[in-house]
Amino acid sequence: MWDYTDKVKDHFMHPRNVGDIKNPDAEAEVGNINCGDVLKLMLKIDKKTGKITDAKFKTFGCGSAIASSSALTELIIGKTIDEARKITNQQIADFLGGLPREKMHCSVMGMEALQEAIAKYKGEDLKTPDMEEREICHCFQVTEKEIRDVVKKNKLTTLEDVTNFTKAGGACGQCHKEIQNILDEILHVRTKSEGKESKLTNLQKIKLIETVIEEDIRPALQRDGGDIELVDIEHNKVIIKFTGACSMCASRGSTMINFVEKTLKEKVGKEIFLVLETFK
């Protein structure tokens, strides 16, 4: 049996801010009724100050889900939306005096609802690259993006951790291999940043190269009107093509070496080298 703190029990037995807000300024619904947890979060926001003046929720789920949702509303009322969106699932758990490891996914659900509500309020594009939208765990409808975000933010290291924080892999187990591959890739980046080394399989290396280009290189180039296309990967040789403003830039050779290749060497491996595809 899990050991719950008195504060978790209090917020479960006497949840704060349950109900509806008529004509909310922001709202979001996350989770899935088939998975056992759903949270609807509604916010009232002062247009002049940007402060959250009221927050209400409705939760279908276990005691930890109700307590986490209640804690979330207490944490965000009175904060500006920019302050509120910085709240992490760990802060929700800490507010409650901690949650059992197996119930951390309840605090993650609260954080995701808050981030989605604020993004909608700000009119931000909620779409993510196709790679990240891909559903990894079909039993609990958990996407690659959700797994990556939770692993990075909470510094998770094991498959069991991922299941505890997202539910992914907690049913049939068919997604375990894919989850482990995502973990291996992220852990490789983390260990390299700490000055350590870890061995990647060829498939993991290819996946990591694609991820670094999508998450680190492409956004930087796009800010200046340029872009990059991954043409092919041959062992340690990465063949790319610059597009947009980068294709016409006279300094694209130095950009490739000084930025793109350097980034790949740092995050994938020092053996990586680039080849720029050219057309006659």
User: SS3 sequence, 137-166?
Assistant: ECCCCEEHHHHHHHHHHHCCCCHHHHHHHH
The residue that leads in pLDDT, 186 or 66, is: 66
Any idea which residues carry the catalytic annotation? 35, 106
pLDDT-derived band at 226, boundaries 50, 70, 90: confident
pLDDT confidence of residue 43: 98
Say what the pLDDT of residue 200 is: 74
DSSP 135: E
| Segment 96-137, tens digit of pLDDT | 999 998 899 999 999 999 999 999 999 987 665 555 578 898
Q: Do residues 79 and 59 touch, judged by C-beta distance below 8 A? A: no
C-alpha to C-alpha distances, 92 to 14, 28, 184, 248, 274, nearest whole angstrom: 17, 18, 27, 49, 44
What tokens appear for 11 in the block?
Answer: 């917020």
Q: CA dist 206 to 10, 28, 145, 203, 218, Å? A: 48, 35, 18, 5, 16
H-only helix segments in 77-141: 81-84, 89-95, 104-122, 130-133
pLDDT attached to residue 280: 42
pTM summary value: 0.66
* Number of Cα atoms under 13 Å in the Cβ half of residue 79: 17
**Which domains does the chain carry?**
6-122 (3.90.1010.10), 130-193 (1.10.10.1100), 203-276 (3.30.300.130)
Helix (H) or strand (E) holding 226: strand 226-234
Asked if residues 95 and 70 have their Cβ atoms less than 8 Å apart, the reply is: no
pLDDT over threshold 50, residue 155 = yes
